[in-house]
Amino acid sequence: MSTPSAERASRSHDLTRDDYAAVPFLRHGQSVSLIRWTQVDGDWRYTTILGEYVHRDERYWYVVVRGVSARLDRADWAIFN
């Protein structure tokens, strides 16, 4: 028999990025805006893109931007509303 704390610990290993980061429900073909922040010469700059959502997995966003399929790393790109 396991203890409640052991059960919580084992469940924490099963968490996915979507479990702790707010990611809205998205439908295939829906427009989605993504943002990426970068630091250039000590200043923070951002890049946004508007694309057509295809799907996502634990590591990537799959979108179509200006008719071209793109795979964007979710560690770099976030939903932008």
Quick one: pLDDT at residue 81?
Answer: 79
For the 17-79 domain, the top CATH level (class) is mainly beta
Quick one: pLDDT at residue 60?
Answer: 96
Quick one: pLDDT at residue 3?
Answer: 52
Distance of CA 64 to the CA centre of its chain: 15
Give the three-state DSSP class for 32.
Answer: strand
Quick one: pLDDT at residue 48?
Answer: 97
> Could you state, in order of their start, the residue ranges of all structural domains in the chain?
17-79
* The model scores a pTM over 0.85: no
Quick one: pLDDT at residue 70?
Answer: 97
| pLDDT tens across the length of the chain (81 residues) | 445 555 454 455 555 555 555 566 889 999 999 999 999 999 999 999 999 999 999 999 999 999 999 999 999 999 987
CA–CA separation, 35 vs 5, rounded Å? 37
31 touches 24 (CB < 8 A): no
